[in-house]
A and B are shown apart, each in its own frame.
Chain A
Amino acid sequence: MQRKTLLKILILFLVLNVVHVNAQHEDEHTESSELSLKESQKLERKEYIQHHLLDSYDFNLFSYKKDNGEKAHVGFPLPIILWDNGLQLFSSSKFHHGETVAENNGNYYKIDHNKIYKTDASGTINYDDHHHAINDKPLDFSFTKGAFMILLTCILMFLLFTSLAKSYVKNGGISKGFGRLFEPVVLYIRDDIAIPNIGEKKYKRYMPYLLTIFFFIWFLNIFGLTPLGVNVTGNIAVTVALALLTFLITNFTGTKDYWKHIFDPLGDTLPWFGKIPLYIILIPIELLGIIIKPFSLLIRLYANMQAGHIVLMSLIGLMFFFKSWFGSTLSFGLSFAISLIEVLVALLQAYIFTMLSALYFGFAAEEHEHHDEASAH
C-alpha cells in the first residue's frame, strides 16, 4: 500500500516536472530568437555548474525567477572577515549575492570571480590584458560556505562519536544508539587498514588520525551529494590541508630506518665508492617521493570529487538541453544511476585516502626489516 502511494507520488512528480519544463520552453520561445537563446542558455548552464563547484560567501540553497522577472535567492548570509588596515567584519548579505558593492567603515568591496576586491564607491574593477583584476585584495579570512560545512561536520562527528564512546561505558561494553552504525566501520579501519599496514605494535598511535580523516572525508563527500550543494572535498585548499597533515605525520613519526631508507637505501651491500654514482640518482628520487606521495593523495581526492560533481550537474543539465519528456526521463534515470555510483565513490575515496595514509605511516614506522636483511646476508 505504502509503496504504491510512493510510486504514484514519484510518477506525479515526474509528470509535473515534464509539464513544467515544457511550459517554460513555451514561455521562453516567444521571448527571443532561437539561436541566441540556445547560446545564452548554454552559457548559463556552464556558469551554473562552475558556480556550484566553487566556494561561496553566502549559503545559497536555491534561487528562482519571480513572476516579474526578478531573481530571488533562498539561503542565509555568512560573516565576511577581512584584514584591511584593521579588522573588517560584516555580513555577506551586503554583497547581495555578488551583485552590488559592499560598504563597511568607509571601505568598499566587490566580489569578482569569487574573490573580494577593494574598489571605490561605484565598484569599478580594473583588468589587465589577461582579464585578471588588478585591484587590491584584502586578506580574506571569511567564514565561507565550505568553512561552515567543515564546522558542521566537526560538530556532527563530535556529537556522534562522543555519544558512541559514552554508550560503551554506560552499557558495559555494548554500544547503543545511532553511533552503533559506525562501530563496524571503526573496527574495519582498525583490523583491515591500520593493523596490516602499520603493524600490531605501533598502529595505536595512528588510529585517531586515520579514523578522523576517514569519517571527515566520508561525511563531507556525502554532504556534497545532498541538495545543499556544497563541494568541500572538491576544493583543492581542503585536500591540500588534509594531505599536508598526512605528510607531516609521516615525516615526524619517521624512524631511523625510514630516513636510512631514503638517504642510504643500499646499506652495506656496496662499498662507498660504488654507492656514490647510484646515490646521485637515487637520493633525489627518494626525496621527490616524499612529496609526490601526499601530492597524489590530494590530487586524487580533489579530482574525483570535482569530476563527480561535474558529471552529475551535466546530466541534470540534459533536462534543459532536450526540453521534452524524453530529456527529463533520460536525465532523471542517468543522474539517479550516477548518484548511486557517487555514493560508492564517496566511500571509496575516503577509504583510499585512509588506506594510503596508513601505508605511508607503515613505511615511516617500520623498524625490523633492515636488521633482518642484514643478518641474512
Chain B
Amino acid sequence: MVGAGLVVIGVGIGIGRIGGSAMDAIARQPEAYGKIQTAMLIAAALIEGIGFAALFAVS
C-alpha cells in the first residue's frame, strides 16, 4: 500500500514536470504547439502506465 502511494507520488511529480516543461516549450515556440502537445501526451501516458501497473500490483 505504502509502495503504491510512493509510486503515485512519483508519477504525479513526473507528469507535473512534463506538463510544466511543455508549457515552457509552448511559451517559447507557440508555433510548435501541436508537436509539443503530442510528445507531452505520449510521455505522460507512458508514465501513467507505470503508475497503474503499481496500483494493480497492490490490489
- B55 in the interface (beta carbon within 8 A): yes
- A299 in the interface (beta carbon within 8 A): yes
Query: Could you tell me if A356 and B56 are in contact, using CB atoms closer than 8 angstroms?
Result: no
Query: Could you tell me if A356 and B42 are in contact, using CB atoms closer than 8 angstroms?
Result: yes
Taking residues whose C-beta sits less than 8 angstroms from the other chain, chain B's interface range is: 10 to 19
Distance in Å from the Cβ of A198 to the closest Cβ of chain B? 14
Interface string of A184-198 (1 = CB under 8 A from B): 000000001000100
How far does the alpha carbon of A303 sit from the alpha carbon of B46 in the complex, in Å? 13
- A323 in the interface (beta carbon within 8 A): no
With A192-B34, A355-B38 known as contacts, the answer to whether A303 contacts B45 (CB < 8 A) is: no
| Among candidates A296, A351, A355, residue contacting B49 with C-beta atoms closer than 8 Å | A296
Query: Could you tell me if B34 and A300 are in contact, using CB atoms closer than 8 angstroms?
Result: no
| Among candidates A192, A299, A359, residue contacting B52 with C-beta atoms closer than 8 Å | A299
Query: Could you tell me if A303 and B52 are in contact, using CB atoms closer than 8 angstroms?
Result: yes
- A125 in the interface (beta carbon within 8 A): no
Distance in Å from the Cβ of B48 to the closest Cβ of chain A? 6
| Chain B residues, Cβ within 8 Å of A303 | 52, 55-56
Query: Could you tell me if A299 and B38 are in contact, using CB atoms closer than 8 angstroms?
Result: no
**A 329-377 contacts with B by CB, 8 A:** 348, 351-352, 355-356, 359
Query: Could you tell me if A300 and B42 are in contact, using CB atoms closer than 8 angstroms?
Result: no
Query: Could you tell me if A300 and B41 are in contact, using CB atoms closer than 8 angstroms?
Result: no
Distance in Å from the Cβ of A211 to the closest Cβ of chain B? 18
How far does the alpha carbon of A296 sit from the alpha carbon of B48 in the complex, in Å? 9
Distance in Å from the Cβ of B52 to the closest Cβ of chain A? 4
Distance in Å from the Cβ of A5 to the closest Cβ of chain B? 41
Query: Could you tell me if A300 and B38 are in contact, using CB atoms closer than 8 angstroms?
Result: no
| Chain B residues, Cβ within 8 Å of A300 | 45, 48-49, 52
| Chain A residues, Cβ within 8 Å of B55 | 303
Kindly name the residue among A296, A348, A355 whose own CB sees the greatest number of chain B CB atoms within 10 A. Answer: A296
| Chain B residues, Cβ within 8 Å of A352 | 41-42, 45
- B53 in the interface (beta carbon within 8 A): yes
**A 277-322 contacts with B by CB, 8 A:** 296, 299-300, 303-304
| Chain B residues, Cβ within 8 Å of A296 | 46, 49, 53
Query: Could you tell me if B42 and A299 are in contact, using CB atoms closer than 8 angstroms?
Result: no
How far does the alpha carbon of A304 sit from the alpha carbon of B41 in the complex, in Å? 15
Query: Could you tell me if B49 and A359 are in contact, using CB atoms closer than 8 angstroms?
Result: no
How far does the alpha carbon of A196 sit from the alpha carbon of B45 in the complex, in Å? 19
Interface string of B25-59 (1 = CB under 8 A from A): 00000000010001001100110110011011000
**A 83-130 contacts with B by CB, 8 A:** none
How far does the alpha carbon of A206 sit from the alpha carbon of B39 in the complex, in Å? 21
Distance in Å from the Cβ of B10 to the closest Cβ of chain A? 16
With A299-B53, A299-B56, A303-B52 known as contacts, the answer to whether A359 contacts B46 (CB < 8 A) is: no
Closest Cβ neighbor of B48 among chain A residues: A300
How far does the alpha carbon of A190 sit from the alpha carbon of B56 in the complex, in Å? 34
Q: Sample 9 A-B pairs with CB under 8 A, ordered by A number.
A: A192-B38, A296-B53, A299-B53, A299-B56, A300-B45, A304-B52, A355-B41, A355-B42, A359-B42
Q: A192-B34, A304-B52 are in contact. List 4 more A-B contacts (CB 8 A).
A: A192-B38, A296-B49, A299-B49, A303-B52
Query: Residues of A with Cβ closer than 8 Å to B?
Result: 192, 196, 296, 299-300, 303-304, 348, 351-352, 355-356, 359
A-B pairs, 3 with minimum CB distance: A303-B52, A296-B49, A352-B45
